[in-house]
Structure 1
Amino acid sequence: MSSPPWDYIAKLVCIGDSGCGKSSLTIRLCEGRFSPQHDVTIGVEFGSRIVPVGPPHTKPSAPATEGGLPEPPRAINTPQKHMKLSLWDTAGQETYKSVTRSYFRGASGALLVFDITRRATFIHVTDWLSDLRAIADPDIVVILVGNKVDQARDDPVGNYTGRREVTAVEAEEWARANGVLQYVETSAKSGENVEHAFMRVAERIFDNISAGKYDLNDRRSGVKGPGPGSAGAAHLRLAPSANRGVMGGCC
């Protein structure tokens, strides 16, 4: 039996209010496309993506020599590791909160998403984070994502317009105050920073794996290594879901 194309599987959840673009971010990462309209998420939907983690993918920049020139590249013998991100895109409607909370269990990472053009969605991230930490593992890796940055740049030269209701400084301060790894602004429409947001979570999870913080044989840890019969998909995909609702806006 051939080895699977991944070394680890990590469960990530996308959480936040309805209409923030959680599904669009997942589709952009898994399929590389954007759809202006799609079905409203009911309960949870799934996607997956295999990404490189650790060195040599994340090797640091070489330090400069005394003369100001960088050191010549050195041979790296560390084999590249790959992580399969199992993405759980949860519904944001209050109606489904009791259902979506159950999917927080066993998650090793979370993207806490809000819409930078709707301040109310930013205010609610405090409640989402509280729910997450009450259910998920204490060491869960959380990143704050301000989505729809493209809608705040309607000016032809890229200046921010009055549609932005949450500043980057405010969101960064909130992330620091609440022990969140980082704040990243994204656009599911253009793809801006989408991969970066997911990769920041994946890399921190890999750091935690290297530090021995997870029991890879315990599914409750949110991370596992390859086992017998685990032949992860080698391609990018968004798994079809039976939990589909009526057509609606970006959620």
Structure 2
Amino acid sequence: MSSPPWDYIAKLVCIGDSGCGKSSLTIRLCEGRFSPQHDVTIGVEFGSRIVPVGPPHSKHSSKSSAADGGLPEPPRASPPQKHMKLSLWDTAGQETYKSVTRSYFRGASGALLVFDITRKSTFAHVTDWLNDLRAIADPDIVVILVGNKLDQAQPASEDDNDNAPNKREVTTQEATDWARRNGVLQYVETSAKSGENVEEAFMRVAERIFENINAGKYDLNDRRSGVKGPGPGGAKNVRLSADAGRGMTGGCC
């Protein structure tokens, strides 16, 4: 089954400490599966997913003007649904590769800043990651804070061991407060294992980018803006970086 044509393509980067589940989140979004064993990312891996953005294409029912005796209003034509191709760059979280991964911040229109809610130390480092990102990327980059591994922070279900520990080390409130103080779009808690809120996290970034497109914040003819429109004749495979991606390219969409 072929993917729908896209109207825009946006470059997103997943950043954060090693072991937070950035690769698992990208695989879950692109391939709809969870990989319990994933090699440590070296440099950058790549994936993509086409998602709908903006108002959905829906039918409008005719409204009657019975009160004034008029005729029903004719149905209004809905604009066609827009689609955005998310070009996902999953970056390495290890300090050894930071000089490499920072170079991929350029030209990104969105970022998922990921930490592990069961490891306080990864949350302590999100400020450093955000500072690095904002020093290199466009000032208008859309950033969302993602607390991953929600499945390890919730109490076990009735069918499981009731004595299973809650491993949460970062509360929802303190992460939400941090996001608000630092001008981050939103805080979302996800589980790459169960898939909970994974699409929501990516879609919140995509929708805000779409709002920025409509507000004229991007030059769609300049790849450095992080957003591209389709070339002449429809959708094209446009790269937002001179370097080809590796890793998940073949498995997505």
Pick the TM interval, shorter chain: 0.7 to 0.9
Bigger relative CO (Cα 8 Å, ≥ 6 apart): 1
Aligned length: 220
Q: Which residue is 1:236 aligned to?
A: none
Give the match's secondary structure for 1:79.
coil
1:77 Cα offset (Å): 1.3
- Decide which of 236, 243, 248 is 1:231's aligned counterpart: 236
Query: Superposition pairs for residues 50-129 of structure 1, below 5 Å?
Result: 50-56=50-56, 75=76, 77-129=78-130
C-alpha deviations, 1:194-232, integer Å up to 9, x for none?
A: 000000000000000000000000111000100147534
Q: Which residue is 2:137 aligned to?
A: 136
Preserved CA contact (<8 Å) 2:47 2:88? yes
Q: Which residue is 2:219 aligned to?
A: 215
Write the letter of the residue equivalent to 1:49: R
Q: Which residue is 1:185 aligned to?
A: 189
Write the letter of the residue equivalent to 2:56: P
Preserved CA contact (<8 Å) 2:155 2:166? no
Give the match's secondary structure for 2:39.
strand
5+ unaligned residues in a row in structure 2: which ranges?
59-74, 239-244, 249-253
Give the match's secondary structure for 1:89.
strand
CA distance in 2, matches of 1:232, 1:32: 22
Bigger mean CA offset, 224-233 vs 102-111: 224-233
CA distance in 2, matches of 1:199, 1:76: 25
1:153 Cα offset (Å): 2.0
CA distance in 1, matches of 2:180, 2:77: 34
Query: Superposition pairs for residues 187-206 of structure 1, below 5 Å?
Result: 187-206=191-210
Preserved CA contact (<8 Å) 2:46 2:247? yes
Query: Superposition pairs for residues 161-176 of structure 1, below 5 Å?
Result: 161-176=165-180
1:240 Cα offset (Å): 4.7
The reply on whether 1:21 has 2:21 as its aligned counterpart is yes
CA distance in 2, matches of 1:201, 1:135: 19
5+ unaligned residues in a row in structure 1: which ranges?
59-73, 234-238, 243-251
Report the TM-score, using the length of structure 1 for normalisation.
0.82
Give the match's secondary structure for 1:176.
helix
Structure 1 runs (4+) deviating above 4 angstroms are: 157-161
Is the radius of gyration larger for structure 1 or structure 2?
2
1:78 Cα offset (Å): 1.0
Write the letter of the residue equivalent to 1:122: F
CA distance in 2, matches of 1:22, 1:16: 8
Q: Which residue is 1:156 aligned to?
A: 157
Query: Superposition pairs for residues 42-57 of structure 1, below 5 Å?
Result: 42-56=42-56
Write the letter of the residue equivalent to 1:56: P
RMSD: 2.3
1:155 Cα offset (Å): 2.6
Distance 1:15 1:78, change over 3 A: same
Give the match's secondary structure for 2:40.
strand
Write the letter of the residue equivalent to 1:204: R
Q: Which residue is 1:40 aligned to?
A: 40
CA distance in 2, matches of 1:56, 1:80: 5
